Structure 1
Amino acid sequence: MSLTGTAFFYVLIAATALAMVATLFAWGAVRGPRPVRWLTRIVMIAICQVTAIAVVAVWINNSYGLYTDWNDLLGRDNGTQTAAMPGPPPDRAMFTRSANGLLETYVHGTHSKLSGQVLVWTPPQYDERQYRNKSFPVIMMLHGVPGSPLSWVEGMGMPGTIAKMMADGEVKPAIVVMPVIDPGGIDTDCSDTPTRKNATWLAKDVPELIHSQFRVLPEAKAWGLIGFSTGGLCSVKLAMQYPNLFATAAAMSPDPFAGDPSVLTDPTLRKQNSPLELAAKWPRVSLFLATSAKDRSSPPSNLTALQRVAIPPTLVAEPLVLATGGHSPNTWLRMLPTALHWMSNELDPAHVVVPPKKKAPAPKKEPTPKHASPSAAHH
């Protein structure tokens, strides 16, 4: 049975309930010498504790994608993933469809030379007749660290959350893309470093994949980034670094905008990737920021610090600060509808892409006869 997914999770819940019921009924039925009875009851208590802890551990793993299978958990190499098989390039990527409509692929970036998982969801309109010639805006969703694209599925209710909002008319039809933000499990706060090109992976390789496989709008006003925790920092940072690719970004409980010294140890590199410093370049982007008043990992002061240094054409909407909630999926779920509604209003809607008109070729000049002289033309 797979380590991740709901089947194993429900089996553990049933095992925990069974262990508790069995302990209640067997507690007084234990016979034998006193040491034996004590030992038996200690074992029964231990079984209840272990199964309960396992339920919590699997819930955390499903939410953050820490381990994908038993070999991953136990540190065993089963030989199925090797350096010689990095995955296909974007134009040859193969997608598999899951029961909830998500498309999944594993792709090798031609620019970053990194490989990673990408989940894609297309709205119902994508396959409808009246939209068959139209291209769609894109919302890229960036997870936290530790985490994976599945964090949006297990912890944030995707794609159901946005599908319902689209069905209710609160969000315009858009393609949702959920890429891994730290390919290979190496976190750089979505930055390019001398050894890892995580920013290039997200800003070039993933968009190249989507452009090659789906009907998407090309303009920056049709591409938005939204993330939570580290993904929130990444969303703002990437939009400010690549405003010609992403015109909007929303951050829920973002990591400190000044950068994390434990992730980017080089002060110069950390400064180059800090949104507080990137604001000096006046990127033409629109930003939405949200956090909780009680979130110690992402205090409101982090949001107001960026708000103070950002000047037009960088636009920062009035931050959303919840009165309660911690640095957790429950808090981000409360922020998500507002963030998605804001982003939908910022993004260009689905429409037919009109290719630019080609200039008419200039008329060719008549060649002068080889043996004709300028004076001969007047005779």
Structure 2
Amino acid sequence: MAPDSLTAALTATIAAVLAAVLLSATWDRATGPRRAALRATTAACCLTTALTATGLWINRQVDTFPTWSALAGHHITSTDPAPTTDHTSGQLVTFTVTGTASGLTLPVHAYLPDAYREQPTARFPVIEALHGYPGSPSSWLNRLAATRHLDQEIAAGRMAPTVVLFPPQTPNPLLDTECTDLANGPRTETFLTVDVPTAAQAHLRVRTDRASWGLIGYSAGGYCATNLALRHPDRYATAASLSGYANPGITIGDGTEHTLNDDTWRLRHLPQPAIALYLSSGRADHKAQHDAETLAHLAHPPLTVTTNYADGGGHSMTVWEAAESPAFDWLSTWLGRPVH
């Protein structure tokens, strides 16, 4: 029973209801100090179970803590790619990235398309999929059902067989990095743009040329995708943002949240790189749509920007799940194909 499971959320909810019943039933029991102690104890039990149930329901939506060990601050690690599930035609493996450049050691999930097994000499294009905050890579795998969407798009021929990586962008689940190198904090940008590609190229049969590497993300991960692509056009050819935004909204510690890590500032003041961006959001998500329109207005060749807005739709998992297949398909049109 994981902390992001329906069973855990329902169990906590039942416990909260029982605690409320107990509080009501014992409110006038006993007398004097015993009554006060009983009331305090049952009230504390009622509050604790209610807060626990609320937290588990929220965690079920964002998957910040997919396991109890993650809740305790531990990460599951694995030294070699090993199957973790094979319920679809693609395969999900997990390997540990020991970041010599960033100093971070974290597990990364990887989706391997069916062609990865069928074509044992082929090397495949790669997409790094970045999650939001709060959240974890499990959000892509559970709530957004990314492996199912990838299987469908590849099987239908709308997407080329592609390896998709799901790295964490929050080494500390409670610290929002926005995929940047925080001053006096984790070097997440370096982990994602240097250590993850290096490890993937060592462990998996993937292409190494920048024309075969792309990024996708939702919410904070959407900002991450566009920002990292703009900052590292030598490593990535394309990026897709689902309800992302143009600036990090956090204090990085060196002032770059207002300059080099602000995408609008970059497009106004720096040469624009030869990459392709896909910016998608619901029209009810006013911040995301405004920032997408601003970036599209500022863009000029060699930078290419494509926008796609869904009627209605706020800042939610429902919107992102509906948008992910078209975004993956679009990315595939800009990336290289498997090569032998």
Shared fold (TM-score greater than 0.5)?
A: yes
The worse-fitting range, judged by mean Cα deviation, of 224-233 and 329-338 is 329-338
1:192 to 177, 181, 189: 181
Post-superposition offset of 1:71: 6.2
1:227 to 217, 221, 243: 217
Post-superposition offset of 1:70: 4.4
Paired amino acid for 1:340: F
Tell me how far apart the structure 2 counterparts of residues 288 and 248 of structure 1 sit (CA, whole Å). 8
What does the per-residue CA deviation read over 1:119-140, in whole Å, with 9 as the maximum and x for residues that have no partner?
1010011001xx2221101111
Give the SS at the match of 1:184: coil
Paired amino acid for 2:277: L
Give the SS at the match of 1:190: coil
Post-superposition offset of 1:191: 1.7
1:157 and 2:145 correspond: yes
Tell me how far apart the structure 1 counterparts of residues 290 and 8 of structure 2 sit (CA, whole Å). 43
1:372 counterpart residue number? none
2:3 counterpart residue number? 3
> Highest CA radius of gyration, 1 or 2?
1
Q: Is the 8 A contact 2:66 2:138 kept in 1?
A: no
Give the SS at the match of 2:191: helix
2:126 to 138, 151, 156: 138
Post-superposition offset of 1:69: 4.5
For residues 307-318 of structure 1, the aligned pairs below 5 Å read: 307-317=296-306
Q: Compute the TM-score of the two structures, normalised by the length of structure 1.
A: 0.73
Query: Structure 1 residues 51, 258: CA separation in 2 closer, same or farther (over 3 Å shift)?
Result: closer
Post-superposition offset of 1:103: 1.2
Post-superposition offset of 1:217: 1.1
1:99 counterpart residue number? 85
Tell me how far apart the structure 2 counterparts of residues 286 and 12 of structure 1 sit (CA, whole Å). 41
1:61 to 34, 59, 62: 59
Tell me how far apart the structure 2 counterparts of residues 123 and 172 of structure 1 sit (CA, whole Å). 9
Tell me how far apart the structure 1 counterparts of residues 330 and 227 of structure 2 sit (CA, whole Å). 18
1:127 to 117, 120, 123: 117
Paired amino acid for 2:83: R
> Aligned-pair RMSD on alpha carbons?
3.5
1:211 counterpart residue number? 201
Q: Is the 8 A contact 1:289 1:303 kept in 2?
A: yes
1:237 counterpart residue number? 227
Query: Structure 1 residues 347, 248: CA separation in 2 closer, same or farther (over 3 Å shift)?
Result: same
Tell me how far apart the structure 1 counterparts of residues 70 and 131 of structure 2 sit (CA, whole Å). 20
Q: Compute the TM-score of the two structures, normalised by the length of structure 2.
A: 0.81
1:273 counterpart residue number? 261
How many residues are matched?
Answer: 321
Post-superposition offset of 1:107: 2.6
Q: How much identity, in percent, do the aligned residues show? A: 29
Query: Structure 1 residues 277, 325: CA separation in 2 closer, same or farther (over 3 Å shift)?
Result: same
